[in-house]
Amino acid sequence: PADADPPAAPGPVAVLGPEPTWATAADVVVVGSGIAGLTVALRCAEAGRRTVVVTKALLDDGSTRWAQGGIAAALGPGDTPEQHRDDSLTAGAGLCDEAAVRTLVTEGPDAVRRLMATGARFDTAADGTIALTREGGHHRRRIAHAGGDATGAEISRALVAAVRAAGIEVVEHALALDLLTDADGRAAGVSLHVMGEGRHDGVGAVHAPVVVLATGGMGQVFSATTNPAVSTGDGVALALRAGAEVSDLEFVQFHPTVLWLGPDAQGQQPLISEAVRGEGAHLVDGDGGRFMVGRHELAELAPRDIVAKGIMRRMRETGASHMYLDGRHFGAAMWERRFPTILASCRSHGIDPVTEPIPVAPAAHYASGGVRTDLRGRTGVPGLYACGEVACTGVHGANRLASNSLLEGLVFA
């Protein structure tokens, strides 16, 4: 309303409510428990640092476990980090940080191998090598996947098991409130509000000279998103209040294909992975016409922003509320083997992809920007680091290349 008070200027906020009722000390506190947060925690623990992970819900409740398509790396015969770099730069529309992209693509293959050594099991081809698929913007098959279309769930399972096995302290249901700083302005820990039981309950603090933000994205800002309920941008907010720089927040990526559940559908929507198009499904309009053919040399496998805009344009031209993804030619056996999660999710909503095209529309998916970091994850606040979706290393530019997000979390962690 016009007569409302102006919003308060951003700045450090006091811990709300009572005085902290508990505190614990560590060398490193990691806020968030997706691929980036758990990888950081494991590395720090391996290096002998006392590490505490705090997470807003449960250890495996972040975005990582929802990832379907996979993790991109130049692992296949004939592929090279340079080709992966070129595809990443093209998708980023001229706004990537080239040094960050070089780090991502050159360190990527070893980072994936390390993840496998940690216990993540990827799908293999008949000859025992890692099976690789394609997604939008990639000129090669370079996406490793697990459980067909359950890549994130497998990565999350493996990392959670490794963190538990390493005996790393975890505080669940812990919302990070603010960065604590010392007299010199260096990070000194985080204040938390924990809705748990036992030792950690109420307002508390983890004191540590190193704070790593790995809180994921902010898709819940939008009415329809692929992101889980925990993706509310609180890591970016915490960093801003602490005086860190953020950048590229305007580059919110929309995934071209979520299952269209009607005009009133809100919150987290079921993702239909780009890998479905990578394996040959077609985008069609209500008359069965392939509207992406002729719009881009890669048609349905153009970079994600181009496909999302292509769908929106066709929806406007035809007055339709959604388009369709047609994978009927896969047959039942391939749907069951390659995309069991998507098949089950569609069927639970009364759609059978084996016999009918899937109704789809774009939805908010990924924050390409975030808390500005250098190549070592450092923010402008001494002792405060960020990695994964909450961070902006510059690898994504204006538009992230498909399946570069899990890889970024892994490499920059």
Active site amino acids = 304
Among 55, 181, 225, 403, interactor with ligand SIN by CB under 6 A: 403
Residue 210 or residue 275: which is nearer to ligand SIN going by CB? 275
Amino acid at 158: A
Quick one: which of 326, 277, 313, 316 has its CA closest to 298? 277
How many other C-beta atoms are found inside a 10 Å radius of the C-beta of residue 354? Answer: 17
At its nearest, how many Å lie between ligand SIN and the CB of residue 155? Answer: 13
Scanning residues 361 to 380, which ones bind ligand SIN (CB under 6 A)?
366
Is residue 405 a contact point for ligand SIN (CB under 6 A)? yes
**Selected range binding ligand SIN among 24-32, 106-114, 238-246, 400-408, rule: CB under 6 A:** 400-408
**Selected range binding ligand SIN among 11-19, 36-44, 356-364, 397-405, rule: CB under 6 A:** 397-405
**Selected range binding ligand SIN among 123-131, 159-167, 350-358, 398-406, rule: CB under 6 A:** 398-406
Residue 148 or residue 204: which is nearer to ligand SIN going by CB? 148
Is residue 40 a contact point for ligand SIN (CB under 6 A)? no
Question: In angstroms, how far is the first alpha carbon of the chain from the final one?
Answer: 43
How far is Cα 135 from Cα 68, in angstroms, rounded to an integer?
Answer: 11
How far is Cα 402 from Cα 142, in angstroms, rounded to an integer?
Answer: 10
The CA-atom distances, in angstroms, between 59 and each of 42, 56, 64, 368 are 14, 8, 11, 24
Residue 181 bridge partners (DSSP): 187
Is residue 360 a contact point for ligand SIN (CB under 6 A)? no
Is residue 63 a contact point for ligand SIN (CB under 6 A)? no
Q: Which helix (H) or strand (E) holds 210?
A: strand 210-213
Could you tell me whether strands 252-259 and 358-367 are parallel, antiparallel, or unpaired per DSSP bridges? antiparallel
Is residue 306 a contact point for ligand SIN (CB under 6 A)? no
Q: In what order do the strands lie in the sheet with 71-72?
A: 71-72, 143-144, 132-133
At its nearest, how many Å lie between ligand SIN and the CB of residue 10? Answer: 30
Among 38, 363, 402, 411, interactor with ligand SIN by CB under 6 A: 402
**Selected range binding ligand SIN among 5-13, 96-104, 270-278, 327-335, rule: CB under 6 A:** 270-278
At its nearest, how many Å lie between ligand SIN and the CB of residue 184? Answer: 39
How far is Cα 28 from Cα 45, in angstroms, rounded to an integer?
Answer: 9
Among 68, 181, 220, 345, interactor with ligand SIN by CB under 6 A: 68
Is residue 275 a contact point for ligand SIN (CB under 6 A)? yes
**Selected range binding ligand SIN among 4-12, 19-27, 331-339, 402-410, rule: CB under 6 A:** 402-410
**In this structure, is the dihedral angle defined by the CA atoms of residues 344, 350, 352 and 353, taken in order, positive or negative?**
negative
Residue 59 or residue 407: which is nearer to ligand SIN going by CB? 407
Residue 224 or residue 402: which is nearer to ligand SIN going by CB? 402
Is residue 220 a contact point for ligand SIN (CB under 6 A)? no
Residue 361 bridge partners (DSSP): 258
| Under 8 Å between Cβ of 20 and 205 | yes
At its nearest, how many Å lie between ligand SIN and the CB of residue 378? Answer: 25
Is residue 274 a contact point for ligand SIN (CB under 6 A)? yes
SS3 assignment for 273-323: CHHHHHCCCEEECCCCCCCCECCECCHHHCCHHHHHHHHHHHHHHHCCCCE
Is residue 69 a contact point for ligand SIN (CB under 6 A)? yes
Is residue 399 a contact point for ligand SIN (CB under 6 A)? no
How far is Cα 392 from Cα 262, in angstroms, rounded to an integer?
Answer: 33
Strand ranges in 292-332 using DSSP code E only, listed in sequence order:
323-326
Quick one: which of 250, 298, 248 has its CA closest to 274? 298
Please report, as ranges, the residues that interact with ligand SIN according to CB under 6 A: 68-69, 273-275, 366, 402-403, 405
